[in-house]
Amino acid sequence: MQADAIPPRPQPAVRALNCPSCGSAVTLRAAGYSVTVGCPSCGSILDVNDAAVKLITEYHEMAAGLDIPLGTRGTYDGIEWEVIGHLDRSIYGAWPWEEYLLFNPYYGYRWLVTDGQSWSFGELLTMTPGYLTYDTLCIGDMEFRRFFAEREVQVDRVIGEFYWRVAAGERVASAEWAGPGWMLSRESNANEVSWTLLKLLTPAEMAEFGVSGVPRRPWPPPPHMVSPHRAWLGTGLKVAGAALGFLLLLMVFFAGGRWSDAGWFPVSAGVTGEQTVTIGPLRFDRPYQRVEIRAEVPRLENGWLDLDYSLVNRADQKVYEAYGAAERYNGVDSDGAWSEGSRASQVSMASVPRGEYDLIVEYRGNKWDGGYQQTFDGWMDAGNAPRVGILVRTGGLYGANLIVAAILLLLPLLWGLFRHVRFEQARQGESDFDPTGAAALFRTSEDEED
Amino acid sequence: MGRGTFFYALWCLAVIAGFLAAGIFGYSPFAEGGRAHGGARAGIYGPTHK
């Protein structure tokens, strides 16, 4: 059995008429759908529901130059739309914005809405959004957070044709919710509630309607504008993570070699002056290397050992120097026993060239006698046989270099985060409700009072 | 890839290259020792406990 064919939707006819007020020709572009039309010459509102056109509101003033003249056609998302009406709206004369009514005989009506900086494409919804929380609405996967509280808005001026009897002074209650790239508007009066979904348009999309000079980044940002820094931050964090991972791999790959024991040397009992030992030759094979020297003083207690190192190149007598000290203390006070310091000292020399070297170590043992209730202060006594062991190794990367590199990697991200927070604070600063997310960061008590 | 991400990736490569070059030359601005240039050292000894 063949189903009944669906009758085709009637095509709107273009109808020409004359304004009863000024006599100018008025073209009705959606005849059969539109119930009112504004005269583009004098702005008078005409009732076109009857065969005899009636004058509803007469305006003897020139229709202001619109950003998009009525009759302009533009393509959005592959569909051609014709601009047939224009509304000036405001909140009792303040915070004005404009709305253009678009028409396509196959797709019906849509809106272009602008606050003078940004433009949005609006579509009347045939469904009611759901509530996720008391301040969050949803349509499918799209979420919208409350942005403007409900207030009364009015129509200030009407030009063109509309599908309802609109006139200057018409008032409705309006509230808005904003999501990334989208905005949800609810308008209600005693008879109906309507929801409109608005998508933020790009300058290129508005150029399709002949509007140029639309700012790429309007300031303050419109409620539904996505922070241009957010996506960059997300990708940047991944890039930074990969870079840091690579640096850690380099740390492992270039890890230092094994310590080689260069010798153990006695520390003179008593304070008798500096002692000197020469260790060598030490052979370094890489063009340049980090050389680490470690001193271990097993008997050290309540004293310190000064260590002067000089690496002398046997070929050219160039000297590389470093200084270290092993310090170790302990004692007892009112809080109990304490100790600090280490019985070992480690230093490194940077960029030592290839060659054969002698390591000259000048060292001097010292006793600390400023303690109170010391448990032990005789580490240099002959009975303890105090001594110092010297160990040497080459290679390895500096941990401090890794920290510097990490800071350099993160600096641009911190700058991006700062700009993202600034953007969100400016965007949500327009809202009637408390900021959330990044905009809630770094708020002062004065901000919270506002 | 956005322009910002591209430039940030370039920045990361430059940082890695600098880190690698410092590693190859065994260099660090924070090394305790290096080529001798004269000068005297000074130090304070003793525990810092209280």
**Sign of the torsion formed by the C-alpha atoms of B46, A341, A325 and B30:** negative
Mutate one of A232, A284, A362, A394 to test the B interface: name it (highest B CB count within 10 A): A232
Please report, for chain A, how many H helices and E strands are present, in that order. 4, 23
Instruction: Count structural domains, chain A.
Output: 3
Mean pLDDT on A305-322 = 92
pLDDT category at A444 given cuts 50, 70, 90 is low
**pLDDT beyond 50 at B40:** no
Interface size between A and B, measured as CB pairs under 8 A: 135
Q: Which residues of B touch A305 (CB under 8 A)?
A: none
Would residue B36 count as lying in a domain? no
**Sign of the torsion formed by the C-alpha atoms of A10, A37, A192 and A138:** positive
Could you tell me if the ipTM is greater than 0.95? no
Contact A331 B9 (CB under 8 A): no
Contact B30 A239 (CB under 8 A): no
What is the average pLDDT value for chain A, to the nearest integer? 85
d(CA A219, CA A215): 9
Instruction: Count structural domains, chain B.
Output: 1
Distances (CA, A) of A99 to A65, A68, A391, B19: 14, 11, 81, 57
Would residue B37 count as lying in a domain? no
Would residue B6 count as lying in a domain? yes
Same domain for A414 and A349, yes or no, is no
Mutate one of A301, A307, A348, A374 to test the B interface: name it (highest B CB count within 10 A): A348
Half-sphere exposure of A170 (CA within 13 A, CB side): 16
Q: Which residues of B touch A331 (CB under 8 A)?
A: 47, 49
- The DSSP secondary-structure symbol of A441 reads T
Contact A329 B49 (CB under 8 A): yes
Contact A232 B12 (CB under 8 A): no
Residue B17's domain comprises 1-25
pLDDT category at A280 given cuts 50, 70, 90 is confident
Q: From the centroid of its chain, how far is CA A85?
A: 39
The pTM of the full predicted model, rounded to 2 decimals, is 0.72
Would residue A106 count as lying in a domain? yes
Same domain for A140 and A18, yes or no, is yes
* A175 phi, psi to nearest 5 deg: -140, 150
Same domain for A219 and A245, yes or no, is no
Contact B12 A309 (CB under 8 A): no
Q: Which residues of B touch A233 (CB under 8 A)?
A: none
Same domain for A233 and A344, yes or no, is no
How far separated are the first and last CA of chain B, in Å rounded? 56
Mean pLDDT on A375-400 = 83
Would residue B45 count as lying in a domain? no
The pLDDT score that the predictor gives to residue A62 is 43
**Which run of H or E residues covers position A82?**
strand A79-91
Same domain for A370 and A426, yes or no, is no
pLDDT category at A371 given cuts 50, 70, 90 is low
Would residue B42 count as lying in a domain? no
Q: Which residues of A touch B29 (CB under 8 A)?
A: 400, 404
Could you tell me which chain B residue has the CA closest to the CA of A368?
Answer: B46
Could you tell me which chain B residue has the CA closest to the CA of A330?
Answer: B47
Would residue B32 count as lying in a domain? no
Nearest to A57 by CA among A42, A69, A39, A44: A44
Q: Which residues of B touch A254 (CB under 8 A)?
A: 23
d(CA A8, CA A5): 9
The nearest CA of chain B is from the CA of A136 a distance in Å of 31
Residue A296's domain comprises 260-396
**pLDDT beyond 70 at A395:** yes
Burial class (CB in 10 A: 0-12, 13-18, 19+), B41: exposed
**B3, A288 in Cβ contact below 8 A?**
no
Mean pLDDT on A405-412 = 96
Mutate one of B1, B3, B8, B41 to test the A interface: name it (highest A CB count within 10 A): B8
**A19, A37 in Cβ contact below 8 A?**
no
Contact B15 A231 (CB under 8 A): no
Q: Which residues of A touch B45 (CB under 8 A)?
A: 304, 325, 327, 366, 368
Same domain for A283 and A171, yes or no, is no
For residue A333, give the CATH number of its domain.
Answer: 2.60.120
Mutate one of A227, A398, A423 to test the B interface: name it (highest B CB count within 10 A): A398
A40-59 pLDDT, tens per residue?
Answer: 776 666 777 665 555 555 44
Burial call A90-118: b when 16+ CB within 10 Å, e when fewer = eeeeeeeebbbbbbbeeeebbbbbbeeeb
Contact A254 B23 (CB under 8 A): yes
